Copies of this chain bind each other. A is one copy, B any other.
Amino acid sequence: MSQTAGESVLDAEQLQALMLRAPYHRWLGIAVTAVSLDAIEVRATWREEWIANADTRHTHGGILASLIDLTADFVLATRLGRAVPTIDMRVDYHRMARPGDLLVRGSVVKAGRQISVSEARVLDLDGMLIASGRGTYLTSATQSG
Contacts and interface: CB of A to CB of B under 8 A. Distances in A.
Interface of A: 21-24, 26-27, 48-54, 56, 58, 60-63, 65-67, 69-70, 83, 85-96, 109-110, 112, 114-115, 117, 129, 132-134, 136, 138, 143-145
Identical copies of this chain, number = 4
A110 B92 contact: yes
Given A61-B89, A62-B66, A88-B88, A145 B22 contact: no
A98 to B, nearest CB: 12
Given A62-B69, A65-B69, A96-B145, 7 more contacts: A23-B48, A23-B50, A24-B51, A62-B66, A62-B67, A89-B93, A92-B117
